[in-house]
A and B are shown apart, each in its own frame.
Chain A
Amino acid sequence: MGPILSLILRRLALSGVILVLVSAVVFIGTEILPGDALDATIPADELIYYTEGDLDRMRTELGLNKPLLERFGIVLWNLVTFDFGVTILTQERVIDFIYHPLMNSLLMASVAVILTPLVSIALGIWAALKPGGRTDGIVSGATLFAYSMPDFVVGNVFIITFAIWLGLAPAVLMVAESAPWHAILAVSILPVAALTVSGVAYQFRLLRAGMVEALDSEFVERARLSGVPEWRLVVTHALPAALIPMLNGSAQFVAGIISGTVVIEAVFRFPGIGLELIRAIAQREVPTVQAITFCAAFAVILANLLADIGVLALDPRVRRKSHG
């Protein structure tokens, strides 16, 4: 087995372990602390409506009477096999509730995940060409400002500016939850743009720092002295090195996109998983909350794995380490 393949397999195994740990955290957070799923669904002041018999029956139906480890085993197996069970109140399949919203959010987040590095790289290169110059100052200032803005503020500012003042995009997303992907995308310009803002600001800052450092490094200086044109220095020498810290920050970036999705969807009424999560929490539907939390964690782990592989491809030092 080649050392690179071995490294990838190790990362895969690590991802699996993290997934189990995440499942454990989800299980503990939603089923054990401070009570079980039934306690989370029925607050103390409502216990008057239930007899002990009712509660026992419901616990049995939900499998909450089983030993802790057995329950965890069942929850873990169900989660990793994407069997999310049924809702507590209406006994309907959780997957039926979350499938379309999940796909819609995935679509929106995927566009943001693709778009964000592209914009960040373009801005990062532009700013790093003359560090400390006017362009660098403006772009750096603007991204710092954008980074400090909460997502709901960005979303509302976008609605006011682009929908209400300029009329360039819809303020209310008129699209069915089960609409085809192109119909969803067609009305998602503002939500995607709003979702991209903080990601761009974050990634730009990582990339810019990496670019400035790389352009100032000895190997670039040597290449410059040997007559390599400046654009080539930037694109083929400095950029790959600068991308590494950006890729290392991918897990945080993807996690940011996911949490941002919940907020942005609420602001724009985007038919996605964020609205579904808010509803499930308000309804105290623990199985739905578990399913969505698990899917979000899965997305972060997957993104992290892909970023690791990207770093492996770009950074010879990491490859060398895996050899030795």
Chain B
Amino acid sequence: MTLLNRRQFMAHVSAGATVFGLSHLLDPTKALAATPDMVEAMIDGQTPKQGGILTYGQTYPNWALGQSNKGQHPYFWLDLLTRSVWNALTWVDEEMNVQLELATSLTPNEDLTVWDCTIQEGVMFHDGTELTSADVIASMNFHKDAIGLIRQNVDRMEPMGKYGVRFFLVNANAEFPYALAEYRAMILKANEDLAQMGYDGIGSGPFKLIEIDNARQFRAERFDDYWMGAPYLDELRGVIAMGNAAINGFRAGQLNSVWNIDPGQIGQYEEVGGQIHASAAGDQFWLIMPKNLDFPWNDVRVRKAMSLAIDRPAINRIVYNDPDGWTGNDSHMTGVNKEFVARPVERDVDQAKALLAEAGYSDGVTLPAMVFCPSFPEEPRVYPIVSESLAEAGIKLEFQERPCDGFNPFVSAVNQPIGRPRRNLVGPRNPFINLGRASSRNAAEPGGWTGEASAKYDSLVLEAVGTPDDAKRTELYQEAQKILQDEVPGIMLGGRRNMVAHQANVKNARSHSQNWSSRFEYIWIDA
């Protein structure tokens, strides 16, 4: 079998990057500097060793199908750290720039509605078959069938020979390459029966899945024919380690890394020689307020009062020990986005009370309870701060904890399509994906936000993503964020960073703002 070495791969990728055709999106200087073989760039100056087992604890429970013991698809255990077993056409780097991964070129037509993609030749799946355009199309159809961004973006596809695919989009989209880097855009081995796609666990990633229990753990071994070159580790093991299991396993030496650690336990990890890597941002908590039932927050003044009353800096200070961290701006944008617009006022309890009084709640207001599941270990410590700070303005909001297993069916069992008041988890992304989530076109998350402002917001976001000019697009995105701050269709708490703790001999274990963009090719263990 012909396997590309890293240098050849880089030559292809660089060539791909040069024809990428979106200079406004992917600054060529930056892209070519960052695209060079991410493995070589990372290990520069190191003397990596081959071998060893990385056993990581994952504090985030499998939730993708809402029931871990029902979600038997191997993809759903790994959806947070997907790139251990699978690859996508593109990848978002730690600075949130999109890079080519399996794609060697990705070129739009003039109006950004059709994208031509060529894929790497000679990429082998774990079963020894070659990855071709048929697999790409089957995978995209599989992802279209489920939830996610591919369904929202892609109208249809057609093959262009064995190594090319043409994507026809629903709307012009200058940021389409970002959608192809999503965790629900991994390339799986084609199967005639779409419903069976992926159950074999076969991917083209650096590790080959050999055992998985979706409720608990998986085991994968080095894939020697990996198209980027075999990874350094012999084996990768992951185990869901909730509660004290993560720190206990780490202290016992059973786990040599833990992803998404509890920030309150940083000291305990460091005490036993653990090293921490924190990304610039991470998954965030977005409060959804359904407005299709008779709730006080249907009045925009109540929603604004809530946003003004929540003490976000206190969350950063108390939970994250990060007093200078960014705070949510009531959009899905995070501090890592350069287009991010901070709210004009961080907190103003008096103004919140005044708004409540204006809305007819001068004696305070009781809101319907919100549900959450403790997806991240510190999460149950966040909401008491929210509740207490709201109470200072006379707003009573209770947060109820539910188990993560069954959370999805539970929240969507009533009041469809919006469901119960709850917090949703949102990962940091490019502006279009971020802002698209608050759009009325996204049925669930805006919580039934309608009206003139909502319509204007939708058209602004769509106009922005179809605008080739970088500066103009940023301007439109910023205007859209200001609408959200005026209307507060949902509340973003913000400030959270993803963090990984690893033992000192584990090299290059890095947390990524997008968990699913963490990579394992360059991790090695110093024996």
Contact = CB atoms under 8 A, between A and B. Distances in A.
A153 B26 CA distance: 56
Given A49-B415, A90-B70, A176 B409 contact: no
A170 B403 contact: no
B67 A282 contact: no
A221 B358 CA distance: 93
B149 interface: no
B403 A92 contact: no
A163 B216 CA distance: 19
Contacts of B369: 45
Nearest to B66: A90
Given A49-B420, A174-B237, A283-B403, A159 B248 contact: yes
Given A89-B406, A172-B254, A163 B248 contact: yes
B62 to A, nearest CB: 12
B409 A89 contact: yes
B1 interface: no
A177 B69 contact: yes
Interface string A155-176: 0100100011001001110111
A97 B69 CA distance: 7
Interface string B201-244: 00000000001110111000000000000000000010101111
Contacts of B239: 172, 174
Nearest to A283: B406
Contacts of A323: none
B248 A89 contact: no
B252 A163 contact: yes
A269 interface: yes
A176 B216 contact: yes
Given A172-B245, A176-B213, A177-B215, A167 B252 contact: yes
A57 interface: no
Contact of A45 (B213, B252, B368): B368
A178 B213 contact: yes
B415 A167 contact: no
A271 interface: yes
A92 B70 contact: yes
B74 to A, nearest CB: 12
B57 interface: yes
Given A164-B251, A172-B239, A46 B414 contact: yes
Interface residues of B, number: 39
B252 A164 contact: yes
Contact of A269 (B69, B245, B251, B420): B245
Nearest to B69: A97
A171 B215 contact: no
Interface in B76-104: none
B241 to A, nearest CB: 6
A64 to B, nearest CB: 17
B402 interface: yes
Contacts of B345: none
Contacts of B244: 156
A48 interface: yes
Name the residue in A97, A156, A178, A283 with the highest tally of chain B Cβ atoms < 10 Å from its Cβ.
A283
B215 A271 contact: yes
A167 B406 contact: no
Nearest to A97: B69
Given A89-B406, A90-B67, A90-B409, A171 B248 contact: yes
Contacts of B402: 282-283
A164 B268 CA distance: 13
Contacts of A167: 252-253
Nearest to B420: A49
A279 interface: yes
A164 B251 CA distance: 6
7 contacts: A49-B415, A92-B70, A172-B252, A174-B55, A174-B216, A177-B213, A279-B403
Interface of B: 55, 57, 67, 69-70, 211-213, 215-217, 237, 239, 241-246, 248-249, 251-255, 293, 368-369, 402-403, 405-406, 409-410, 413-415, 420
Given A89-B413, A283-B410, 13 more contacts: A46-B414, A48-B368, A49-B414, A49-B420, A159-B248, A171-B248, A171-B254, A174-B216, A176-B212, A177-B216, A271-B215, A279-B405, A282-B403
